[in-house]
Amino acid sequence: MKRYRTGFWASGLLLFLVTASGEEREDGYVSFVACPVARHQGPWRDVCFIARHEGREYALRNPPDYGEPQLKHRILVEGRIVEGEEYCGAQLLDGRFSVLREIDQNCNEIIPYTGPITDTPPPSSGRQGAYVSDDPQWAHLHPSVRPVMNQLPDLAVLPLPEGPPWQPQRQTIYYPFDSDRASGPDMARLVQLVEYAIASNARFEIRSYQGQSLLDSGEVMTERPGMARQRAEKLRDILIGLGIDESRLTIAWEPEPIVGTGREDWRSRRIEVHLEP
């Protein structure tokens, strides 16, 4: 049986100004909106990106396939400062950034090449961009699954435990701000859960959330109403397309956003998946 919770739809990015002042953070976390700045790394390497905030430069690095910065678009940066570590010649953060939808013509800065950046590793020499279906470990996948996997780069996903006895499984899928696109590694893991569910005749339970982000400036950014529902219904359709019987799916969403705290608010934009054999 499916459970739905209703919300209303609206367009555009909602910004609310809260009464708290944007005092300087001393807890090691940052949350801000800025233009990404591309840094040229030489003729044989791609650019890397940084962002400037309150007189400091921060490196922009997301998990694989979570999203890359784009010039002409501002970014929402949320993370914890990793002291003593740099990337792209800037301070490294443990967190996420989201590319915002609106066009901003001012976001067009490119730092010219001035020599190698020692803290940035060389390009990957592995099968980056190779189709996963070429790897024998995916040869057993159902034909309906392979087209999805063919679009993913070389992803290291730990295998699920073999059964029986079958065990409950859980997965948390995180999303960029105002987006329903999940990352490749998360989808690769979901494909594994689908195979596990089919083999164990399991049920899927999906609960979706949307959130707010409290910025260092004191502003609050709120995702568009209906994002939690949009994410849940898209993931439901993906699971059905991969072979899960709709009668074995339960989906729900929280229409109200999780209140932002300024500490890793990106974690509020998520879907929790529970598989019960």
Q: pLDDT tens across 89-145, in order?
A: 999 999 999 999 999 999 999 999 888 776 555 444 333 322 223 333 333 333 333
pLDDT reading at 185 higher than 60: yes
Q: Would you state the torsion angle of the CA atoms of residues 100, 105, 111, 113, taken in this order, to the nearest 10 degrees?
A: 100
Are 178 and 262 contained in the same domain? yes
Residues 157, 95 within the same domain:
no
Provide the residue type at 40 as one letter.
H
One domain for residues 84 and 151 = no
145 and 209 inside one domain:
yes
Shared domain for 98 and 139, answered yes or no, is no
The number of domains in the chain is 2
Q: Rounded to whole angstroms, how far apart are CA atoms 250 and 3?
A: 6
Residue 250 lies in a domain: yes
DSSP structure class, residue 213: E
Whether 126 and 97 have beta carbons less than 8 Å apart is answered as: no
pLDDT score for 120: 56
CATH number at residue 83: 2.40.50
Structure tokens at 202: 């399991």
Distance CA 73, CA 36 (A): 8
DSSP-derived letter for residue 130 is: -
Same domain for 143 and 103:
no
Give the list of residues 6+ apart from residue 124 with CB closer than 8 angstroms, or none. none
Q: Does a structural domain hold residue 43? A: yes
Task: Tell me whether the omega of the peptide bond preceding residue 168 falls within 30 degrees of 0, making it cis.
Answer: no
Provide the residue range defining the domain that includes 79.
22-111
Q: Which residues fall within 8 angstroms of residue 2, CB to CB, at 6 or more apart?
A: 246, 249, 250, 251
| Confidence category of residue 158, pLDDT binned at 50, 70, 90 | low
Alpha-carbon distance 56 to 51, whole Å?
8
Judge whether 124 lies within some domain.
no
* DSSP, res 132: G
pLDDT at 193: 93
One domain, residues 99 and 163: no
**Of the residues 65, 81, 111, the one at which a domain ends:** 111
Kindly state whether residue 41 falls inside one of the protein's structural domains.
yes
pTM for the full model? 0.78
pLDDT at residue 151, as a whole number? 42
CATH number for the domain that contains residue 140: 3.30.1330.60
Asked if 100 and 140 sit in the same domain, the reply is no
272/151 same-domain check:
yes
Residue 118 lies in a domain: no
14, part of any domain = no
Element (H, E) at 222: strand 219-222
Q: How confident is the model at residue 85 (pLDDT cuts 50, 70, 90)?
A: confident
- Is residue 265, in this structure, part of any structural domain at all? yes
Query: DSSP 3-state assignment of 192?
Result: helix
**Distance (Å, whole) CA 112 – CA 13:** 33
